[in-house]
Amino acid sequence: MREPTRKRGHERVAALLNAAASCFVEKGYDAVTLTEIAARAGASIGSLYQFFPSREALVQALLAEYTEALYARLATLVAQAGTWDIDQLGTQLIGFLVLFRRRYPAFAVLAESASLPASHGTAIRKRLRAELQAILRQKSPSMPLVTLQAATIVVQQLMKAALAINAEPGLPDRKNALAQLERALQLYLRSILS
């Protein structure tokens, strides 16, 4: 992949990445062609190949951008978690992935695509789990490691449940369901952190 050197090149790369993200959200990873992405970005296919020699290179660039944003948000979450009480922590954790996916909808399409190496999603899940474990350790420094590891998995799964509730089309009373899930996480956190 060639790195852009001029402002115009940076703008072209940004337009190509935005177009690719939109196409992947609309059609899924397997159905999108580079020609379609170039057309959506208002670029020639040659211009796309100049910066991204393959669809995989384009996906790698998108995943790198999304992963960097996710890790930055995780770092902020870890830094702020010490100032929150348990209910505030539950609220923040339930909303974390929902808000991230809303901001970066193509992330889930790419990270969970069966056509891409599983290592992408695995590495991200492991990092998320490590950061969640750090938050729980902050709140309960004396918790035995085996309990901490199990609790981290439970918290991560509840966060993923919020994603599923939020993503289900036509779900009646989604807001109330998310509020109840948030309450369940708060109660769980109280039971393990008190």
Q: Which of 36, 53, 70 is the last residue of a domain?
A: 53
Residue 120 CB contacts under 8 Å (≥ 6 apart), including other chains: 63, 110, 111
Mean of all residue pLDDT scores within the chain: 90
Same domain, 95 and 30: no
- What pLDDT is stored for residue 10 in this prediction? 80
Q: How many domains does the chain have?
A: 2
Same domain, 13 and 85: no
- What pLDDT is stored for residue 6 in this prediction? 72
- What pLDDT is stored for residue 116 in this prediction? 61
- What pLDDT is stored for residue 9 in this prediction? 67
Same domain, 40 and 81: no
- What pLDDT is stored for residue 8 in this prediction? 78
Helices (H), 53-142: 55-81, 86-103, 105-111, 119-139
User: Is 32 strand, coil or helix?
Assistant: coil
How many other C-beta atoms are found inside a 10 Å radius of the C-beta of residue 58? Answer: 24
- What pLDDT is stored for residue 83 in this prediction? 94
Where is pLDDT greater, at 39 or 9? 39
CATH number at residue 149: 1.10.357
pTM value is 0.82
Same domain, 94 and 181: yes
Same domain, 20 and 102: no
Same domain, 173 and 125: yes
Same domain, 74 and 46: no
User: Is 118 strand, coil or helix?
Assistant: coil
Region 106-132: mean pLDDT is 80
Buried b (16+ CB within 10 A) or exposed e, 153-169: eebbebbebbbebbeee
Same domain, 144 and 182: yes
Same domain, 110 and 165: yes
- What pLDDT is stored for residue 2 in this prediction? 62
CATH number at residue 21: 1.10.10.60
Distance CA(122)–CA(168), nearest Å, equals 23
Could you list the residue range(s) of the whole structural domain that residue 66 is in? 62-193
- What pLDDT is stored for residue 14 in this prediction? 92
Same domain, 20 and 87: no
Say what percent of the chain tops pLDDT 90. 73
The conformation of residue 144, written as its DSSP 8-state character, comes to: -
Same domain, 170 and 79: yes
Same domain, 161 and 183: yes
